[in-house]
Amino acid sequence: ATPMAVMIGTSLGARAGILFKHAEAIEQCARIDVMVFDKTGTLTVGRPEVVEVAVAPGHTEAELVALAASVEAHSEHPLAQAILARSGPVARRAEAFANSDGQGAAGVLDGRRLLVGNSQLMRQGGVDLRPMTSAAARLQGGGRTVVYVSREDDLIGLFAIADAVRPSSRSAIDALHARSVKVAMITGDNQATAARVAGELGIDIVLADVLPGQKADEIGKLQAQGYSVGMVGDGINDAPALTKADVGFAIGAGTDVAIDSADIVLMRSDPGDVVSAMKIASGTLRKMH
Ligand code: ADP
Ligand code: MG
């Protein structure tokens, strides 16, 4: 684009709360044919809340909540914050806290190992999930994220956690489809929960159970199929994928790392602004030819 067109595009963007960090971002933005959205904090508001608890046979809700909170008291994860909001002040904190990237957290209380996290973490820990399979399936089918709690190899229960979809997510996806852009969702959350949210939003491609270190690889796979890929994210775990994508969009309310890794910053944290950015970009390119 001519310097004049870039200047106009940049200033139109700035007025709409869309920060193009460099001129190539405008040109690349007009060419995107697959837009990949992170789920938590991008398509959803990222303020998860516990909506249900279920206790395994032989245990109590008080026990479940206290054990989970003793581990999550050490964690910064939004799901940990949801569990702590439910538990109230934590009476006893676990020792030897460890984070299992993208799967959950672990600790030790009274010499016994506690795990708080997803089914992969439980399976790795040798915990039998069968007592709660049907409860989990029902909750995940409803779009809830299920967080299991175990002590040694004993399943104590689970938390069902909900995170509201941003009001503009659905219309953003419809507008991308109207421009013939394919839409994908990428998440560390499980397949069943992801499929439910994707179905609600009309998403074409679901990439679930993706570990933080694998998000950029998934972008690379789409690029290898010949697509020009946009990626929209908010978290530290999205940063490598934002860099790998042809165009990285950071949610303005997201982490500094995501903002630094992106080509475009959506200051209003509105997923619909990716469409506005594409419109401004196409207009700018038309002025150039
Ligand atoms: P996303 O990619 O959706 O932002 P993350 O990669 O942060 O998600 O986490 C992926 C999954 O790992 C979560 O859906 C959850 O099941 C589990 N998890 C990670 N950290 C925790 C934690 N502190 N407590 C419970 N579950 C966790
Ligand atoms: Mg996120």
Mean predicted confidence (pLDDT) in 127-141? 96
| Model pLDDT for residues 154-174, shown as the tens digit of each residue | 999 999 999 999 999 999 999
Residue labelled with tokens 């469409």: 275
Give the CATH number of domain 3-45+165-288: 3.40.50.1000
- pLDDT higher than 80, residue 287: no
Does residue 145 have its Cβ closer than 6 Å to ligand 1? yes
The strands making up 145-151's β-sheet, listed across from edge to edge, are 49-55, 154-162, 145-151, 112-117, 104-109, 95-100
Could you tell me the distance, in angstroms and rounded to a whole number, from the CA of residue 102 to the centre of ligand 1?
5
Hey, whose CA ends up nearest to atom 27 of ligand 1?
104
pLDDT of residue 288: 63
> Where in the sequence numbering do the catalytic residues fall?
38
Structure tokens at 206: 């679901």
Could you tell me the distance, in angstroms and rounded to a whole number, from the CA of residue 190 to the centre of ligand 1?
9
- pLDDT higher than 70, residue 17: yes
Give me the residues near ligand 2 (ion), CB cutoff below 5 Å.
38, 40-41, 234-235
Q: What are the start-end ranges of the E strands in 18-94? A: 18-20, 34-38, 49-55
pLDDT of residue 18: 97
Domain boundaries along the sequence of the chain: 3-45+165-288, 49-162
Q: Are strands 247-251 and 229-233 parallel, antiparallel or unpaired?
A: parallel
Q: How confident is the model at residue 25 (pLDDT cuts 50, 70, 90)?
A: very high
Indicate which atom in ligand 1 lies nearest the CA of residue 72: 23
Q: How confident is the model at residue 279 (pLDDT cuts 50, 70, 90)?
A: very high
Q: What is the DSSP track for 86-147?
A: HH-S-SSPPEEEEEETTTEEEEEETTEEEEEE-HHHHHHTT---GGGHHHHHHHHHTTPEEE
Does residue 254 have its Cβ closer than 6 Å to ligand 1? no
Does residue 157 have its Cβ closer than 6 Å to ligand 1? no
Could you tell me the distance, in angstroms and rounded to a whole number, from the CA of residue 170 to the centre of ligand 1?
23
Does residue 185 have its Cβ closer than 6 Å to ligand 1? no
Does residue 42 have its Cβ closer than 6 Å to ligand 1? no
Could you tell me the distance, in angstroms and rounded to a whole number, from the CA of residue 256 to the centre of ligand 2?
13
Hey, whose CA ends up nearest to atom 16 of ligand 1?
118
Q: How confident is the model at residue 187 (pLDDT cuts 50, 70, 90)?
A: very high
Q: Is 61 left (phi over 0), alpha (psi -120 to 50) or beta?
A: alpha
pLDDT of residue 153: 93
Site to substitute for ligand 1 among 53, 86, 156, 189, most atoms within 8 A of C-beta: 189
177 vs 34: CA distance, rounded Å: 10
| Model pLDDT for residues 37-95, shown as the tens digit of each residue | 999 999 999 999 999 999 999 999 999 999 999 999 999 889 999 999 999 999 999 99
Mean predicted confidence (pLDDT) in 190-207? 95
What's this model's pTM, rounded to 2 decimal places?
A: 0.90
pLDDT of residue 289: 55
Does residue 188 have its Cβ closer than 6 Å to ligand 1? yes
| Model pLDDT for residues 222-268, shown as the tens digit of each residue | 999 999 999 999 999 999 999 999 999 999 999 999 999 999 999 99
pLDDT of residue 102: 84
Q: Which ligand is nearest to the CA of 236?
A: 2
Q: Which of 75, 87, 65 is nearest to 157 (CA)?
A: 65
161 vs 184: CA distance, rounded Å: 23
Could you tell me the distance, in angstroms and rounded to a whole number, from the CA of residue 77 to the centre of ligand 1?
7
ipTM, 2 decimals? 0.94
Q: How confident is the model at residue 5 (pLDDT cuts 50, 70, 90)?
A: confident
Pick the CATH number of 49-162 from 3.10.129.10, 3.40.1110.10, 3.40.50.2020, 3.40.50.2000: 3.40.1110.10
- The answer to whether 28 and 246 have CB atoms below 8 angstroms apart is yes
